[in-house]
Amino acid sequence: MSRGRIQAAGRCALGLLLLGLALAGCSKETPTSGGTSSMVQGGKPKIVFVFKVGGISYSDACKAGAEQANNDPQIDATVEYEAPDQASAGKQAEIIDQARVGGANAIVVSPDDAQAVVPALDKAADAGIQTFTWDSDAPASKRKFYVAAVDDVQIGVEIADALAKAIGGKGKVLIFSGQRTAQNLNKHVEGMLEGFKKYPGITVAQPIYYNDDDKTKAVALAVQALQANPDAVGIACANSVSPPAAGEALRKLGRVGKVKVWGLALPSETRTYLKDGSVTGLYLWDPTKLTYYTAYLVRQALKGDMPKDGEKLPGLAQPIRVNGPIVTLPLRITITKDNVDQFHF
């Protein structure tokens, strides 16, 4: 072969090689803003939920919702669930950081501390990852929206009203809560205090008792509070650990029926307490549904479809409510000894 033909063949081969490389490069996913490269190219986005603390039934129920979403082709996303072993804003921030560098397209947090998680959440948002909150909010962060099952203040008012009715509108009441820094719990307590103002015959004992969502601590603290307030006739509970803890304390002290208990808790954890009168009644929502529908809304947001006021979600009879960045789902239920066996979470 002549030198000219060899050079021509070489140029042709080089051209084909460059064309092949160009085509190969085009076949790869091109990163886009918002941490959605895999979604844009048809792959599944990765949604990571980060709860306040693991090892409690409420957290387990939330995890079940994440697993349901992970297995739902309608959501079509890889949904993961993480929680620190103990309530700790620092550990929660570490998990958020791990999700940020671990390929998450969206991070959804129920903050242990509404302020402490802001740097980690905002760092993720600045990296192009969409951030959200559910169950409890971090309004100072760059989160897109917050998903709640109820109005956090109004549910506290309703607990106060129910307890006031149970004690005849008079007497001393105690307030139990979880973490001092949890936005949703503080809003519940705010609502309780506001609600009790309507009843001049009711006195709210101080201090408010915080059990950090620790079951063992919650029972010990409930016993301590009741011993320090032998004239208390009611307990309002802002977190899911408190009603069964209050019921257990009343059993230990022989005061079942003498002190009424209303609050937020899982029916599975309070069934026996409701039936023997240790706990009077509960308001709650199914945490599994709360987490599942949050995953649904986050997945839609990753597609560019933000929640709309009055929108109906698949499987929900009532529409959602959207007020600015706050999305409220129609999930609240009332639980008493008469209907507790209807609920299986």
At 70, phi and psi to the nearest 5? -60, -35
- The pLDDT of residue 109 is 98
Q: At what angle do helices 267-275 and 242-253 cross, to 10 degrees?
A: 30
Residue pair 83/59 in contact by the 8 Å Cβ criterion = yes
CA distance 300 to 106: 11
Q: Are residues 135 and 251 in the same domain?
A: no
Q: Are residues 216 and 253 in the same domain?
A: yes
Q: pLDDT of 59-117, one tens digit each?
A: 999 999 999 999 999 999 999 999 999 889 999 999 999 999 999 999 999 999 999 99
pTM across the whole model: 0.79
Cβ atoms < 10 Å from Cβ of 233: 20
Domain count, the chain: 2
H helical segments located in the chain? 3-27, 37-40, 57-70, 89-101, 118-126, 152-166, 183-196, 215-228, 242-253, 267-275, 287-302
Indicate if the pLDDT at residue 54 is higher than 70: yes
- Average pLDDT of the residues in 202-208: 98
- The pLDDT of residue 87 is 85
CA distance 160 to 327: 24
Phi-psi region of 279 (alpha: psi -120 to 50; beta: other; left: phi over 0): beta
- The pLDDT of residue 42 is 53
Burial category of 150 from C-beta neighbours within 10 Å (exposed 0-12, middle 13-18, buried 19 and up)? buried
CA 326 distance to own-chain centroid: 13
Q: Are residues 132 and 195 in the same domain?
A: no
- The pLDDT of residue 165 is 98
User: Average per-residue pLDDT in the chain?
Assistant: 90
Is position 127 within any domain?
yes
Q: Are residues 77 and 158 in the same domain?
A: no
Q: Are residues 144 and 195 in the same domain?
A: no
Is position 190 within any domain?
yes
Is position 14 within any domain?
no
Instruction: For residue 181, give the CATH number of its domain.
Output: 3.40.50.2300
Is position 9 within any domain?
no
- The pLDDT of residue 251 is 98
Q: pLDDT of 257-275, one tens digit each?
A: 999 999 999 999 999 999 9
Q: Are residues 141 and 58 in the same domain?
A: yes
Cβ atoms < 10 Å from Cβ of 296: 20
Q: pLDDT of 19-28, one tens digit each?
A: 343 333 433 3
Indicate if the pLDDT at residue 326 is higher than 50: yes
CA distance 300 to 281: 36
Indicate if the pLDDT at residue 194 is higher than 70: yes
Indicate if the pLDDT at residue 50 is higher than 80: yes
Is position 298 within any domain?
yes
Is position 52 within any domain?
yes
**What order of strands is seen across the sheet that includes strand 321-323?**
78-82, 46-50, 106-109, 130-134, 146-148, 326-328, 321-323
- The pLDDT of residue 10 is 42
Higher pLDDT, 42 or 299: 299
Q: Are residues 157 and 138 in the same domain?
A: no
Is position 17 within any domain?
no
Q: Are residues 71 and 124 in the same domain?
A: yes
Q: Are residues 123 and 210 in the same domain?
A: no
Indicate if the pLDDT at residue 179 is higher than 60: yes
State what percent of residues in the chain have pLDDT above 70: 88
Q: Are residues 109 and 182 in the same domain?
A: no
* Domain final residue pick, 247, 266, 284: 284
Q: pLDDT of 111-145, one tens digit each?
A: 999 999 999 999 999 999 999 999 999 999 999 99
Is position 341 within any domain?
no
Where in the sequence is the domain holding 184, given as residue range(s)? Answer: 152-284
Q: Are residues 56 and 78 in the same domain?
A: yes
Name the band, by pLDDT with cuts 50, 70 and 90, for residue 16.
very low
Q: pLDDT of 273-300, one tens digit each?
A: 999 999 999 999 999 999 999 999 999 9
Q: Are residues 53 and 121 in the same domain?
A: yes
Name the band, by pLDDT with cuts 50, 70 and 90, for residue 7.
very low
